[in-house]
């Protein structure tokens, strides 16, 4: 079972590329409402352990930050398109 600390460590690694937090903030503002600047500040506080993320925010960040899956035909299914 994953802990909050291991999730936070993974999130910090994903936040390292330049512009990642700004992009996440924009997506969160669209999804949950509010201003991207406030979301950026909120994310920074979470990464610095000044604040703890809610379950909803954890789920949204997991969806936003998840690595893209490569689609392959190796799964044995024939494409319908």
Task: Report residue 21 as tokens.
Answer: 């937090």
Q: Does 50 reside within a domain?
A: yes
Q: Does 73 reside within a domain?
A: no
List helix spans (H) across 1-81.
Answer: 4-14, 20-32, 36-47, 55-65
Q: Does 75 reside within a domain?
A: no
Q: Does 31 reside within a domain?
A: yes
Task: Report residue 63 as tokens.
Answer: 């969806």
Q: Does 77 reside within a domain?
A: no
Q: Does 79 reside within a domain?
A: no
Domain limits at 33? 19-65
| In the block, residue with structure tokens 């024939």 | 78
CA distances from 69 to 7, 13, 28, 46, 65 (A): 19, 18, 21, 26, 12
Q: Does 4 reside within a domain?
A: no
User: What pTM was estimated for this model as a whole?
Assistant: 0.77
The per-residue pLDDT for range 18-68, each reduced to its tens digit, is 999 999 999 999 999 999 999 999 999 999 999 999 999 999 999 998 877
Domain count for the chain: 1
């Amino acid at each position: 079972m994953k802990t909050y600390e291991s999730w936070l460590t993974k999130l910090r690694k994903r936040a390292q590329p330049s512009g990642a937090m700004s992009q996440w903030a924009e997506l969160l503002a669209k999804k949950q409402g509010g201003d991207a600047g406030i979301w950026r500040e909120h994310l920074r506080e979470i990464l610095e352990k000044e604040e703890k993320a809610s379950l909803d925010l954890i789920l949204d960040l997991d969806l936003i930050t998840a690595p893209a899956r490569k689609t392959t035909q190796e799964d044995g299914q024939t494409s319908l398109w």
